[in-house]
A = this chain, B = another copy of it.
Amino acid sequence: MDLNKIFGARKTVAQVEEGNELAPKFDALGLIPAVTTDYDSGELLMHAYMNAEALFLSITTGEAHYFSRSRQAIWHKGATSGLTQKIRELKIDDDQDCIWLRVDVSGGASCHVGYRSCFYRTVPSGSGIATDGPLELEFTEHEKVFDPNEVYKGAPNPTKL
């Protein structure tokens, strides 16, 4: 099957921005960023990347698939952890270089560290912030939903320095 059949050619700016044909832009590495929010709460759960195959699989199965840059492989979210993401709505932005997934999460967590959302820390901001040293983050989630050591059983941590 030629999975690229579902993607139209990018011909003009007007077509891409104002048209009704899916014509996504993949970057030099063949990737498009994907933003995933919780359908009910609107909370930002994670930010990842898709290649053409991951986008095709997300669209046609209704379950979130990404491309793992650390493993260089298709990543069916939840295949290891059971924490799958059911796509309720899939949107694309004006210049069609970013995907928005609105999902229901099985098991209630999307972060490999064990938290509900990957965004479990706040950065202080606003006038009056001291800029003479590293800023201190504040945790907004205080309990993990799962224990990553149990769920991933020693698989390598995807975080890179």
| Contact present for A133 and B5 (CB under 8 Å) | yes
Cross-chain contact of A123 among B25, B59, B123 (Cβ < 8 A): B59
| Cα–Cα distance between A18 and B138 once the two chains are bound (Å) | 11
- Quick one: CB contact mask for A118-150 with B, threshold 8 Å, 1 for yes? 111111111101011111111110000000000
| Cα–Cα distance between A99 and B25 once the two chains are bound (Å) | 22
| Cα–Cα distance between A93 and B62 once the two chains are bound (Å) | 25
| Contact present for B92 and A121 (CB under 8 Å) | yes
A90 at interface by CB-CB < 8 Å? yes
| Contact present for A122 and B90 (CB under 8 Å) | yes
Given known pairs A92-B123, A124-B59, the reply for A13 and B159 (CB within 8 Å) is yes
Distance between A41 CB and nearest chain B CB, rounded to angstroms: 7
A72 at interface by CB-CB < 8 Å? no
| Cα–Cα distance between A140 and B74 once the two chains are bound (Å) | 30
Question: 18 more A-B contacts (CB under 8 A) besides A60-B129, A90-B123?
Answer: A5-B133, A6-B129, A6-B133, A8-B134, A10-B161, A13-B159, A35-B47, A37-B44, A59-B123, A59-B135, A61-B127, A62-B125, A87-B126, A91-B122, A94-B115, A95-B159, A95-B160, A98-B118
